[in-house]
Amino acid sequence: MTNQFWKYVGTIVVAALTIGLITEVLVSAQSGNEQGLVGSWDTVVTPRDCETGVPIPFIPPFIAVQTYNQGGTLLTSNLGAPGIATLEGHGVWEHRVGREYSVAFRILKFNPDGTYAGRDVIRDVISLDIGGNSYSSTGAVEILDPNGTLILRGCATSLATRFR
């Protein structure tokens, strides 16, 4: 009778350990599949004075669409400045720590006659909200002429919501 009792107890312990192990594996798999930044985002960008952080009055906020791909690449598009045509921006992103990400991308610009006008290089730090459906960022832009010479450095903040 005692042998049968210990077999019964052993079976319960093995079953409990198995259930615990399966639960642990499932929870680990779910946390590894969180969306994080991956997906498309509707973004409002506000150009700011780098020294004071005050919005620049003669450059109004503008909208952009940004798509962060699995593996760390991104595409972005916006209307660009009046009289300047832009191609989609291409770049990279990476997870830093917690809900913080770093982003770098470039946008090629063209004059109305189709000649190359230079490029903008943007570097942002993104803070994803706890729900994962919005973020804010702060960043800097380098505006370069067609030869790659720096024309101007600027700053901006953005607010984004996940496109669903």
Same domain, 53 and 17: no
Same domain, 91 and 158: yes
Alpha carbon 31 to chain centroid, angstroms: 18
pLDDT of residue 10: 43
This prediction has a pTM of 0.75
Same domain, 19 and 45: no
**Residue 136: C-alpha distances to residues 8, 10, 46, 108 (Å):** 56, 53, 11, 24
- Helix-, strand-, coil-residue percentages of the chain, each rounded to 5: 20, 50, 30
| Run means of pLDDT, 10 residues per run, the chain, 164 residues | 49 41 33 74 96 92 95 90 82 97 96 93 97 97 97 96 96
pLDDT of residue 86: 86
d(CA 88, CA 46) in angstroms, rounded, equals: 19
Question: Which CATH number covers residue 129?
Answer: 2.40.128
Overall domain count for the chain: 2
Same domain, 105 and 138: yes
Sign of the C-alpha dihedral computed for residues 18, 19, 20 and 24 taken in this order: positive
pLDDT digits (tens, 9 = 90+) for 58-96: 889 999 999 999 999 999 998 766 777 888 999 999 999
pLDDT of residue 35: 76
pLDDT of residue 4: 54
Same domain, 94 and 79: yes
Domain extent, residue 123, equals 39-162
pLDDT of residue 26: 32
